Amino acid sequence: MDLNLDSILKLELEALDRAHLRRTLHATSGSSETFHNFAANDYLGLSRHPALIEASRSATSQYGTGAGASRLVTGTNSGVLALEEELAAWKEKEAALVFGSGYAAALGTIPAVVGRGDVVILDKLAHACLIDAARLSGATVRVFPHNSIEKLEALLRKITAANIENKSRILIVTESLFSMDGDMAPLREIIDVKELYGAWLLVDEAHATGVYGATGAGLLGDSGLSGRVEMIMGTLSKALGSVGGYVAGSRTLVDWLTNRARSFVFSTALPPGVIAASRAAIEVSRSSEGMGLRDQLRQNIAHFKEGLTAAWKEKARSTSAIQPLICGEAATALQLAAKLREQGFLVPAIRYPTVPRHAARLRVTLSAAHSRDEIEALNRALA
């Protein structure tokens, strides 16, 4: 048997090719002039907002392009502390901690609060970073069918019955807005159940932050539920148009993560320009301009759905900016995405393992920055 690394990997890549599951990187200029971008999660169009660009430029000129080391080694730029205070206030929590990415926030947080002998209960459609973090923690991992309160409660009942001495910590993990289906978690019901059984809850607001609520604080804030959730996770890289992740919770939680979240302790801090852009994004989101952008996004979602042909409209059941158009097989999704690309539209084909087998889809993401003309042109292309 040939044990050469490249030979083995080549065979595995060929297997991905046959299953239509191989990923490749496509070069773009990053400009909307190249493609009509319906793939990005830049829901408010803030990545090109003048306030964010100027904030980033000014901070970079003053402090340089990099942080140099982890915050526990070189200290913390005052801008980072201000960002964390602003995030905590926005999320109605005592404190917040910023990570290098949303993925890093998950991988640092979950293994820091649960471990061997504990239990993590995940929604079946939870993001890969949440799944990986649960596995990394060493805790027993249990999964409940997507958004099924009945199955979640059944799991909790069984786990707590076996946990007679209350030695095991139980952590429930879900997203508030799911990234591939665009639907929302029944947050109030999940919180009611977790309180009934004495569990903890981590809610990932990655795709809801900036988009929901009077100030864009997310679905928890919009529902008045923030105070009943132990950990609120999110990202600065989607509607906020920057990069990075965060966890908000009690001061005690954040102090513990500062000491035990390995992806925080052993990672170089985010660059000053990124921190400044993130602060500017929160300011825009909380302003009247942010309210206007959210209203424009809602109008664009409605306009897209109204313009779909009957065949596509049957598939587009999401009410959020994430519009999955289910195609079924990976090969079909790839062919349709390629045809759209030929016409100048960047709409990704999402395949296994990101979504279940035989549930491949085109994932259309809408932004407040899209014009009506762009949306109508995409609808004509889809037709």
Closest-CA residue to 133 (of 188, 204, 192): 204
Yes or no: say if 156 and 197 are a contact pair by the CB < 8 Å rule. Answer: yes
- Cα–Cα dist 326/124, whole Å: 18
Q: Is 41 a catalytic residue?
A: yes
Active site residue: 84, 181, 204, 374, which one?
A: 204
Yes or no: say if 145 and 151 are a contact pair by the CB < 8 Å rule. Answer: yes
Q: Is 204 a catalytic residue?
A: yes
Yes or no: say if 174 and 289 are a contact pair by the CB < 8 Å rule. Answer: no
Active site residue: 207, 267, 305, 374, which one?
A: 207
Active site residue: 194, 238, 305, 370, which one?
A: 238
Which DSSP letter does residue 21 get?
-
CB atoms within 10 A of CB 97: 25
- Please give the structure tokens belonging to residue 147: 């958004």
- Please give the structure tokens belonging to residue 85: 């205070």
CA distances (Å), origin 256, targets 109, 110, 159, 169, 265: 10, 12, 26, 16, 11
Yes or no: say if 122 and 173 are a contact pair by the CB < 8 Å rule. Answer: yes
Active site residue: 36, 91, 93, 127, which one?
A: 127
- Cα–Cα dist 92/348, whole Å: 35
Q: What is the spatial order of strands in the sheet that 200-204 belongs to?
A: 95-99, 245-249, 231-235, 200-204, 170-175, 119-123, 140-144
Continuous segment of H or E residues that includes residue 374: helix 372-382
Active site residue: 84, 153, 175, 205, which one?
A: 175
Q: Is 175 a catalytic residue?
A: yes
Active site residue: 179, 226, 300, 379, which one?
A: 179
Contacts of 59 (CB under 8 A, 6+ apart): 79, 272, 273, 275, 276, 277
- Please give the structure tokens belonging to residue 281: 């994004």
Q: Is 26 a catalytic residue?
A: no
Residue in the block written with tokens 């909307």: 32
Yes or no: say if 158 and 179 are a contact pair by the CB < 8 Å rule. Answer: no
Yes or no: say if 67 and 271 are a contact pair by the CB < 8 Å rule. Answer: yes
Active site residue: 37, 41, 77, 242, which one?
A: 41
Residue in the block written with tokens 């993401």: 365
Q: Is 207 a catalytic residue?
A: yes
Catalytic residue annotation: 41, 127, 175, 179, 204, 207, 238
